[in-house]
A and B are shown apart, each in its own frame.
Chain A
């Protein structure tokens, strides 16, 4: 049967076999409340808020998992349905702290929204909070298990999407709650700090660590010269965070907003994305001549780096020694920049705006002190910058467009696409192709569409004149794991592999706006490719500021000074 027809609230709905009542109801424009259901995650069916009446079935049935069938009659708005939804929600609310006004998720909380939608005005049960300690051990994420409502979405994100499984349900019955194993804090647990749990959580039980106060303090300190860098993915999500349409490219407004907050210089992580391509591209060519193991893995994504340190430490020699673009910029912003600008190094305070919670952890790594100080002082996520701009009363939508500051603010389209899965690979291919073949790529030929898109693992074979290079791209750590298993088994035909920790790449990072879905990720990625096409320069090796940096300071890719400032090493860690 190609289509089935069922009746929902008196409306005939045609849908495909295998779809759920929830999917069929949405087609008919009927909104069924959900809490544990998320469009990108596996079905849990535990909150019991989406229950409906199905003719012939005795108790109420969950619309999120109950399969629609031909001839089925469903009612979504009967007294029994409303009573069950409201009472179940009341039970959850009686267990949840009453601190909405000071919660990071205030007005962005699905529990709060449901209480409003279902018209809860009175909670008839005595408040019984868990009284568990907050976990503030991680530099990236804060967990408040008292706000957990047992929806299990974080488990699904952590275990199924990322294959990390830091969180699991501890205890049974009334005492059950999602926690890291063995009572550990996130810092001691096997956690990659990616923050996908914070995007999956419908409440404020898992949030980014809020470091905005430290940035306000630095901005107010007259002795500090405060510089900021912005990651590629933030320019296509900050607008969304502040109410512009999804996929709005807000680069110029973002720069203007940062100046209005009081930053002394606004630099661009896209610049060091270009620099990464120069270093990593040459590293790849060296490895292809036999200087190190192949395939080489990219090293831009700190969640991925922590993942391989925990789960595949034996493969660490395959990881490029290049620091991430964030850390390259940090090292330059506290050496090259103050030394040439005549500012004492110790006065420079570097802030990063990242789509990422794992970057907060990365900045604190002991390796990341090339300047003699911690190279990056504070990392803020897209959400935190949004918070600062709202607090400062900056009318983002009506800001003029402004340009980044030289010299660390100049970039190419290749740097911009770093924010999407396949983007680092495409940027590398643009440069490697031209360096190896001597031919110039232009227009359409610059675009490597085979490495774009949201398929979990992508493969391509690129001919470089006489020779060929085979590459793979994976995003989301469960996909990275599949690729790693093949490398381990000796079944990897590739020379170069790009891995990004988060689904969709950095545009889907754990620090991005609440409400991130795969559909929104696709729109943000499309915006980055548009931004790339709008740039005059689209290949990293054509970035004049990067070339000037080599002439003035670094000499050449992989030079001694490059190694000192731009390369790093990794630490095997305990896995499961």
Chain B
């Protein structure tokens, strides 16, 4: 269940953590791109990301969509692309230390991957 008490950046991040865990590792954009994307979203949730990070994330998302070998790599970046399209202000708030739902914080450990939940 997701309602407006859930941060969209954090939501995209948890979806991406799932896809990263499922990546088989054959093709470059999925194998190498997914952890990089996840790191940028980690940084966003910790309010440490810059506008350049967000630009790079969007470029990565596009390249993964365009060039990954299978549908997993092609669709993994969709959550990120969707939240930027529909919740742009909320996403950009994270670049300025603001999470609209107040659930992200600067104290968050950015390397947390939530892997345990999917094992």
Does A84 make an interface contact (CB < 8 A)? yes
A125 within 8 A of B: yes
Which among A166-174, A227-235, A509-517, A527-535 touches the partner chain?
A166-174
Asked whether A47 is an interface residue with its Cβ less than 8 Å from the other chain, the reply is: yes
Q: Is the beta-carbon distance between A60 and B25 smaller than 8 angstroms?
A: no
Pick from A19-27, A86-94, A460-468 the stretch touching chain B.
Answer: A86-94
Q: Determine how close the nearest CB of chain A comes to the CB of B63; give it in whole angstroms.
A: 4
A48–B28 CB distance below 8 A: yes
Which chain B residues in 37-79 approach chain A with CB under 8 Å?
Answer: 39, 56, 59-60, 62-63, 65-69, 74
List residues of chain B with CB within 8 A of the CB of A124. Answer: 56
Interface size on B, residues (CB 8 A): 28
The reply to whether B23 and A173 contact each other, CB–CB distance below 8 Å, is: yes
> Inside 8 A of A174's CB, which chain B residues have their CB?
20, 23, 25, 31-32, 34-35
Q: Decide if A176 is an interface residue (CB 8 Å cutoff).
A: yes
- Our pick among A46, A84, A92, A169 for the contact of B63 (Cβ within 8 Å) is A84
The docked-state distance in angstroms from the alpha carbon of A59 to that of B60 is 14
Complex CA gap A575/B67 in Å reads 40
Name which residue of chain B comes closest to A128, CB basis.
Answer: B35
Report the minimum CB–CB distance from B10 to chain A (whole Å). Answer: 21
Q: How many residues of A contact B (CB 8 A)?
A: 29
Partner of B29, one of A80, A91, A169, A173: A91
In the complex, chain A residues whose CB is within 8 Å of the CB of B22: 173
The listed residue with most A CB atoms (<10 A of its CB), out of B27, B56, B65, is: B27
Contact indicator A91/B25 (Cβ below 8 Å): no
Query: How distant is the Cα of A150 from the Cα of B27 in the complex, in angstroms?
Result: 8
B26 contact set on A, CB distance < 8 A: 46, 150, 176
A48 touches B25 (CB 8 A): no
A203 at the interface (CB under 8 A from B): no
CB distance from B67 to the nearest CB of A (A): 4
Contact present for B21 and A87 (CB under 8 Å): no
- Contact between chains at A46 and B28 (CB < 8 Å): yes
Q: Assess whether A87 is in contact with B60, with CB atoms less than 8 Å apart.
A: yes
**CB-CB nearest in chain B for A152:** B26
Q: Which residues of B contact A126 (CB under 8 A)?
A: 39
Query: Beyond A125-B36, A173-B23, is A87–B31 a contact (Cβ under 8 Å)?
Result: no
Are A176 and B32 closer than 8 Å at their CB atoms? no
A173 touches B66 (CB 8 A): no
Tell me the minimal C-beta distance from A33 to chain B in angstroms.
Answer: 13
How far, in Å, is B29 (CB) from chain A's closest CB? 6
Could you tell me the distance between the alpha carbons of A83 and B29 in the complex, rounded to whole angstroms? 12
Q: How far is the CB of B28 from chain A (nearest CB, A)?
A: 5
Nearest CB to that of A95 among chain B residues?
Answer: B32
A59–B34 contact, CB under 8 A? no
A147 to chain B, nearest CB (A): 15
By the criterion CB–CB under 8 Å, are B31 and A176 in contact?
yes
CA distance A176 to B26 in the complex (A): 8
- In contact, B59 and A87 (Cβ under 8 angstroms): yes
Which of A47, A59, A125, A172 is close to B23, meaning CB atoms less than 8 Å apart? A172
- When distances are taken between beta carbons in the complex, the residues of chain B under 8 Å from A175 are 25
A60 touches B66 (CB 8 A): yes
For the residues of B in contact with A, the DSSP-based class is helix
* In the complex, A421 has a CB within 8 A of chain B: no
Q: Does A51 contact B (CB under 8 A)?
A: yes
User: B74 to A59, Cβ gap below 8 A?
Assistant: yes
The docked-state distance in angstroms from the alpha carbon of A60 to that of B56 is 20
B29 touching A48 by the CB < 8 A rule? Answer: yes
Q: Which residues of B contact A80 (CB under 8 A)?
A: 66
Query: A129 to chain B: closest CB distance in Å?
Result: 13
Contacting residues, chain A, for B59 (C-beta < 8 A): 83, 87
Shortest C-beta distance, A92 to chain B (Å), equals: 6
Q: Which A residues, 49 to 99, have Cβ-Cβ distances below 8 Å to chain B?
A: 49, 51, 59-60, 80, 83-84, 87-88, 91-92, 94-95
Chain B residues whose C-beta falls within 8 Å of the C-beta of A150 in the assembled complex: 25-26, 28, 31
Residue of A nearest to B35 (CB): A174
CB of A83 within 8 A of CB of B74, answer no
The reply on A45 being an interface residue by CB < 8 A is yes
Given contacts A87-B59, A173-B31, contact A48 B69 (CB under 8 A): yes
Contact status of A59 and B65, CB under 8 A, knowing A124-B56, A174-B23: yes
Distance of A243 Cα from B32 Cα, bound (Å)? 37
Contact A48 B36, beta carbon cutoff 8 Å: no
Question: What CA separation (Å) do A277 and B52 show in the bound complex?
Answer: 70
Contacts of B29 in A (CB 8 A): 48, 84, 87-88, 91
Residues of B within 8 A of A47 (CB): 27-28
> Do the beta carbons of B67 and A46 come within 8 Å of each other?
no
Inter-subunit contact B24/A46 (CB<8 Å):
no
**Are A60 and B67 in contact (CB-based, < 8 A)?**
yes
Q: A124 to chain B: closest CB distance in Å?
A: 6
Q: Please, which residues of chain A bring their CB within 8 A of the CB of B62?
A: 83
A92 close to B67 (CB less than 8 A): no
> With contacts A87-B59, A88-B67, A91-B36 known, is A48 near B31, CB below 8 A?
no
Which B residues lie within 8 Å of A84 (CB)? 29, 63, 66-67
- Closest chain B residue, CB of each to CB of A91: B32
Given A95-B32, A174-B31, 18 more A-B residue pairs with CB atoms under 8 Å apart are: A46-B26, A46-B28, A46-B69, A48-B67, A48-B69, A59-B65, A59-B74, A84-B29, A87-B60, A88-B67, A91-B36, A92-B32, A128-B35, A172-B25, A173-B22, A173-B23, A173-B34, A176-B25
Chain A to chain B contacts (Cβ below 8 Å), 29 pairs = A45-B69, A47-B27, A47-B28, A48-B67, A48-B69, A59-B74, A60-B67, A83-B59, A83-B66, A87-B60, A91-B32, A91-B33, A95-B32, A124-B56, A126-B39, A128-B35, A150-B28, A150-B31, A171-B25, A173-B20, A173-B22, A173-B24, A173-B31, A173-B35, A174-B20, A174-B31, A174-B34, A174-B35, A175-B25
Chain A residues proximal to chain B, CB less than 8 Å = 45-49, 51, 59-60, 80, 83-84, 87-88, 91-92, 94-95, 124-126, 128, 150, 169, 171-176
What are the 8 A-B residue pairs with the smallest beta carbon separation, nearest first? A176-B25, A91-B32, A173-B23, A84-B67, A87-B63, A48-B67, A88-B28, A173-B25
Write the residues of chain B forming the contact surface with A, with a CB cutoff of 8 angstroms.
20-29, 31-36, 39, 56, 59-60, 62-63, 65-69, 74
